[in-house]
C-alpha cells in the first residue's frame, strides 16, 4: 500500500506563496508519476500539476502554469508543489496522487492514479 501524506497548506494573502509537500515511504517511488489535484468549494476535482517517473517531465494546468512549480526528490521520496502569486481562485483542498508508470495523457487526469493523500487545505484571501 502506498501511503501519501500532504503538508504545507494554510492561509495566505493573495500574491503570496506556499509550498506543499507530499511524502511517502514507498520504496519504488521513483517509478511513480506524481500529481497534484485540487478541489475548490462546490467544484469538481481538477488537475493542477504532475511530474513523470522517468525524466521528471512536468505538466501543468493552464490555470496554474507560470505560477506553480512541481518537483520531486527521489532520495527523500517526496514531491513538492511550489505555489507563487496565489489568487483567491486557488483556494481548494489540494491532493497528492501517485500512479505507477503513467503516460503523459494519464498523468493529467485523475482516473489512472491509484493512490491519493488525504488532502491539505489552501485558502487564499483577497
Question: Dihedral through CA 71, CA 30, CA 94, CA 48, nearest 10?
Answer: 60
Q: Please state the rounded mean pLDDT for residues 5-12.
A: 97
The C-alpha cell 513523470 sits at: 52
Interatomic CA distance for residues 56 and 34, integer angstroms: 10
pLDDT band at 1 (very low <50, low <70, confident <90, very high): confident
- pLDDT 10s digits, 23-75: 998 788 889 999 999 999 999 999 999 999 888 999 999 999 999 999 999 99
* Cell numbers found for residue 120: 491539505
- pLDDT 10s digits, 63-117: 999 999 999 999 999 999 999 999 999 999 999 999 999 999 999 999 999 999 9
pLDDT of res. 28: 86
* Number of Cβ atoms within 10 Å of the Cβ of 3: 12
Amino acid at each position: 500500500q502506498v501511503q501519501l501524506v500532504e503538508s504545507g497548506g494554510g492561509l495566505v494573502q493573495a500574491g503570496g506563496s506556499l509550498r506543499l509537500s507530499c511524502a511517502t515511504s514507498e520504496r519504488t517511488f521513483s517509478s511513480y508519476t506524481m500529481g497534484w489535484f485540487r478541489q475548490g468549494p462546490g467544484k469538481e476535482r481538477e488537475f493542477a500539476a504532475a511530474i513523470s517517473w522517468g525524466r521528471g517531465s512536468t505538466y501543468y494546468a493552464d490555470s496554474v502554469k507560470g505560477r506553480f512549480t512541481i518537483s520531486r526528490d527521489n532520495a527523500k521520496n517526496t514531491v513538492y508543489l511550489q505555489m507563487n502569486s496565489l489568487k483567491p481562485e486557488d483556494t481548494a483542498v489540494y491532493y497528492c496522487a501517485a500512479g505507477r508508470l503513467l503516460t503523459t495523457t494519464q498523468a493529467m487526469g485523475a482516473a489512472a492514479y491509484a493512490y491519493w493523500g488525504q488532502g491539505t487545505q489552501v485558502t487564499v484571501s483577497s
